[in-house]
Chain A
Amino acid sequence: MDQTTLNIIVVGLSFALYFGIAIWARAGSTSEFYAAGRGVNPVVNGMATAADWMSAASFISMAGLIAFVGYQNSTFLMGWTGGYVLMAMLLAPYLRKFGKFTVPEFIGDRYYSNTARVVAVVALIVISVTYVIGQMTGAGVAFSRFLEVSSTNGLLIASAVVFVYAVLGGMKGITYTQVAQYCVLIIAYTIPAIFISLQLTGNPIPGLGLFSDMSAGNTGQGTPLLVTLDGLLTDLGFSAYTTGSSPWLMALFTLSLMIGTAGLPHVIIRFFTVPKVADARWSAGWALVFIALLYLTAPAVGAMARLNITTTMWPEGVQGEAVAVEDLPNWFETWQVTGLLGVEDKNGDGRIQYYNDSSEEMQALAAERGWEGNELVTFNRDILVLANPEIAQLPGWVIALIAAGGIAAALSTAAGLLLAISSAISHDLIKSVINPGISEKGELVAARISMAGAIVLATWLGLNPPGFAAQTVALAFGLAAASLFPTLMMGIFSKRMNSAGATAGMLAGLILTCLYLFTYLGWFFIPGTNMLENTASNYLFGIPPTHFGPIGAVANFLVAYLVSRVTAEPPQHIQELVESVRIPRGAGAATDH
């Protein structure tokens, strides 16, 4: 059986599982469609949250993102986990106590204003739609890479699969499919990592292997893995793995990712599905346990894969001869076909020299040794995860599992985002603003139609990605940090915060962040319309647009505070609402509304 057939069988089995769950977990009421009937066990919800959170990018790209930069990109590890501390202590339990279905619903009710509600809906849709585009294209790429279909067809298959279980099951269907998807993706991620860690360090836990000594039979035997890697990289003219620069910018970027994570609506609504406030607290902890299983493995995967590929290119060490073209391993050939790896014997010596040809020292050495530039011309960062099973010489079913895992990661995140979008439309726009008299049945139909509409829109955007697709992560995190997080937090922690203050604050955060991004990345991200060159010397106080979230959040807090001081305090019943959100007692009663 060839690899593609095996991939199709494993991926097909995983789809059959998702469909089975969808039929079993059909939603019969709006409470089931929006919040899975609030009957989800906190550990199960933690697992679903982990799948909801970890996207195709976390699964396929993060190890590479860290491995190619090293210490400096630890910001992603800390930022994407530290946000859960904020969510667990500042948002999730209180919003669960409030006992409604969506994030804009809390903002609309707490600030007794449909204007605030609509601003929140707009923020939610901008954040979630930009985020979902990446998931759809990610799913398309995963399909095309493993199943030999075009990425267009891959994207259409992915949409059809999500359509079935999201429209049928709503949050209930999505929750239990996410649990299955988590299991698929974590198994796929850790099996190759364990084998590689064993081969290199003899330690079966990759996170510990990263800080262990190289075992017998490997380059640098007896010295720590990180020392070996640092040595190889600096010898080839790359920057060392464990060093970094500009700590203040690192801290600011970490903060931006943390606040942004805590403000992402598709993650927040997962905490509405547990039975009690105490469960929401535990559940945030469990979510981080399941996320940490992958996030503690990712830096090890990245470092070990980079080490493996480097020693493959320099089998006799950097001082010896480079690898001969005919000695390249089989997996190297396979991945060359996909365009993720590419070699070109520029100096025609039959060997492939891999080094940093923009380093001056290396240029001198290259002239001496007759090299004519780096010959590993393509080295896509995704390869570090995708080729892992082959590097570790694992059987074909492990490769097929990686295919199913990558697709599971993309689908689970896409489904969570689509639910956040569709519930904001059917519940906050249709039910709360346009037609408050709508029946429960009518709203359930509206919710399903909104979901179908959101999937069609996401598919279309995935097929015709706007020019700003590459900037979407920065945009989504920056906007979540600047708009939703501060407004939600003030709604809980400040009784004095009123409608005018919150609305003005949200708009200030949103507009300021968009303006800063547009200044450097172009108006609405249209290339060529940027007013300033996107380079460090132009940045205000040296802050890159990707790091702007916390500044937008501060603007939100400040404007909201000032406006609320000069306008009337919120009415008595709102102050009582804040009181009741702060104490857990009575959460069960708030379930039915």
Chain B
Amino acid sequence: MAEQPNNNAYWAANIRLVTICLVIWAIASYGFAILLRPMLSGIAVGGTDLGFWFAQQGSILVFLVLIFFYAWRMNKIDKEHGVDEE
């Protein structure tokens, strides 16, 4: 932990990654599934529209991908900055 600037760069990289993920998280759920649903109403999915699919399934799948992407990417960032475990 001697190299302080290194840790700052690490934390900045983490914040950047979290921000990107949470923007996608919000767009998929609050956006596509709820507030932007009228805009997507032209896209038909199985007898209804894309917004309904996002509300009942799509958002959950997006959340799943996001968490695994974050875990994978973050574990890599740990190594790049030399702060990983072991």
Contact = CB atoms under 8 A, between A and B. Distances in A.
B21 A285 contact: no
B75 A278 contact: yes
Interface stretch (A119-127, A163-171, A291-299, A383-391): A291-299
A89 B84 CA distance: 16
Nearest to A493: B15
8 contacts: A78-B29, A224-B46, A225-B46, A230-B47, A281-B74, A296-B60, A584-B84, A587-B85
B47 A211 contact: yes
A89 B70 contact: yes
Contacts, number: 142
B76 to A, nearest CB: 10
B35 A247 contact: yes
A242 B45 CA distance: 12
Given A211-B47, A251-B34, A288-B64, A584 B83 contact: yes
Query: Interface centre among A228, A255, A281, A580, by most B CB within 10 Å?
Result: A281
Contacts of B22: 85-86, 89
Closest A-B pairs by Cβ, 4 of them: A224-B47, A211-B46, A74-B55, A281-B71
Interface string A277-320: 11001101100110010011001000000000000000000000
Given A251-B30, A299-B56, A579 B63 contact: no
A285 B64 contact: yes
Given A207-B57, A285-B68, A247 B37 contact: yes
A224 to B, nearest CB: 3
Interface in B8-59: 10-11, 14, 18, 21-22, 25, 29-30, 33-35, 37, 45-49, 52-53, 55-57, 59
A223 interface: yes
A285 B71 contact: yes
A580 B21 CA distance: 23
B29 A254 contact: yes
Given A85-B67, A93-B74, A281-B75, 20 more contacts: A74-B33, A77-B60, A82-B63, A86-B22, A88-B71, A89-B70, A90-B18, A210-B46, A210-B57, A224-B46, A226-B46, A242-B48, A242-B52, A248-B35, A277-B85, A282-B71, A285-B67, A295-B60, A299-B56, A585-B83
A296 B53 CA distance: 11
A496 interface: no
A278 B57 contact: no
A582 B77 CA distance: 13
Interface of A: 66, 71, 74, 77-78, 81-82, 84-86, 88-90, 93, 207, 210-213, 223-228, 230, 242, 247-248, 250-251, 254-255, 276-278, 281-282, 284-285, 288-289, 292, 295-296, 299, 579-580, 582-588
A74 B70 CA distance: 25
A228 B47 CA distance: 9
Name the prevailing secondary structure of the A interface residues.
helix
A586 B48 CA distance: 51
B1 interface: yes
A81 B83 contact: no
Contacts of A289: 64
Contacts of A89: 18, 21-22, 67, 70
B30 to A, nearest CB: 5
Contact of A82 (B35, B49, B59): B59
A384 to B, nearest CB: 15
A93 to B, nearest CB: 8
Contacts of B11: 582
A212 B57 CA distance: 14
Contacts of B57: 207, 210, 296, 299
